[in-house]
Amino acid sequence: MTTLQQKNPAQARPPEPAVNGIPAKPRPSKMRRKEARFFWLFISPWIFGFVVFLLGPMLASVYLSFTDWDSFTDPTWVGFGNYVKLITEDTVFHKALWNTLYFAFFSVPLGMGIALWLAALLNKKMKARKIFRTLVYLPHLVPIVAVALIFQMILAPDAGPLNRILAVFGVDGPAWLFDSEWVKPAIILLSLWQAGGATVLLLAGMKGIPQEFYEAAEIDGASSLRQFWSITFPQLTPIIFFNLIMGIIGAFQVFAQVYILTQGGPDNASQMLVPLLFTEAFRNYHMGYASAISWLLFLMVMALTILAFSTSRKWVFYETEVKN
């Protein structure tokens, strides 16, 4: 956004006359220079923070990922050894990778779908709408440790409310957290319970859609479903896109749910990449190995994000871009 502001005054000025045949660099106006000084002044805390606390550690972890480092003694260079071991040998890493993909594949689309559905419902004119909105957003505010404890009770094999409800319908519910087949769906369930955060963004987006669109559609005789798909959904795509990107990143970074609820068990059936990374770094003292995991994770999330961005021009609609 800053670049746009910087460009405009420069373009408005006529080019400076050439001296000795060399085109002189246009000298910025006093106002412009002052603005630039303030720009650097205000951006400097962020740049400082980025370089010292983010870029520095990131570069260090690139180096460390090529070493065997216990975090106490000097690191020893192992080249691609950590990466080779991760990709070819480490069955726990493979399991964690699969689990994370599984979790992301289900939790992100389901979460987005539920958020959209809730937002559409909450956008309707009805009684006690504000109370419902609060209720939908509330789970998002509960600390994850508390959520995990609540779910330990909800998912209890026989005494838990979920399996009791299932029993009413004659379904013999699984042992959830103790069943390697059901522990991942249980964690997905927990993440869906918190879908309310995305709902709020979508709801705000819905409020921003001009009423004329709907009026015009009504005159043309469009049903409410048709209105949703032809007006609401396209107008919301930037927010849906934002939710998608944040959802992918969040899903790959899933940590607390696993760490508190299952510790990755039973037998790594719910182990995910970030808890595994944490275990390797701070329990097993394999800091170099953990750094390699974090960079593989980074590359994967980066690749998926790029993929999402490259497809976005096909389905994400920006009003400002139409005006250009």
Partner 1 sequence: MKLLETNVSRRNVLAGLGATTLGVITLTACGSSGSGTASAGGAKNFVMTVWGGDPDKAAYQTRLDLAKAKFPDYKITLQIIPNKDYAQKVQTMISGGTGPDIMQVAEDANAYSSKNQLLALDEYISSAKLDLKATFGAVAENWKYKDKTYAVPDRAGAMILYYNKGEFDKKGLAIPTGDWTWDDLLSTAKELTGDGVYGYGGTEWWPIWMSFAYQNGGKIIDPDSGRPTVDTPEVIEALQFCQDLIYKHKVVPSKVDYANMGAGVGGDAAFASGKVMMNSTGFWNIGSLAKQDKISWDVAQIWHGKEKAISAFGSGLAISRSSKNPADAFKIIEFMTSAEGQKPILDLGQDVPARQDLQNSPEFLKPSWLKADVNMEVFPESTPSIFKPPFIPEWNEMQKAITDATADFWLGKTDAAATAADLQKRLGSIVKTQA
**Toward partner 1, which CB reaches closer, 100 or 136?**
100
- The minimum distance between CB 269 and partner 1, in angstroms, equals 8
Q: How far is the CB of 136 from partner 1 (least distance, A)?
A: 24
Rounded Cα–Cα distance for residues 279 and 265 (Å): 13
319: exposed, middle or buried (Cβ count in 10 Å: 0-12, 13-18, 19+): exposed
What whole-number distance in Å separates Cα of residue 304 and Cα of residue 39? 33
Residue bearing tokens 């959520």: 147
294 with 86: CB under 8 angstroms? no
Task: Provide the minimum distance between the beta carbon of 129 and partner 1 in the complex, in angstroms, as a whole number.
Answer: 29
Distance separating alpha carbons of residues 134 and 86, to the nearest angstrom: 44
DSSP state, residue 24: P
For residue 95, the minimal CB distance to partner 1 (Å) is 10
Report, in Å, the least distance between residue 228 CB and partner 1. 13
Tell me whether residue 139 or residue 238 sits nearer to partner 1 (CB atom). Answer: 238
In the bound state with partner 1, the residue whose beta carbon lies nearer, of 120 and 147, is: 147
Query: How many residues are given for the chain?
Result: 324
Residue 51 CB, shortest distance to partner 1, in Å, is 12
Residues contacting residue 261 through CB under 8 Å, at least 6 positions apart: 148, 151, 152, 177, 186, 187, 190, 270
Judged by CB, which is closer to partner 1: 111, or 136? 111
Side-chain-side CA neighbours of residue 192 (13 Å): 18
CB nearer to partner 1: give 114 or 308: 308
Partners of 68 in beta bridges: 76
Closer to partner 1 by CB, 106 or 151: give it. Answer: 151
Look at residue 76 and give its three-state secondary structure: strand
- Residue 71, helix vs strand vs coil: coil
Nearer to partner 1, 20 or 324 (CB): 324
User: Other C-beta atoms within 10 Å of 117: how many?
Assistant: 13
CB of 53 to partner 1, least distance (A): 8
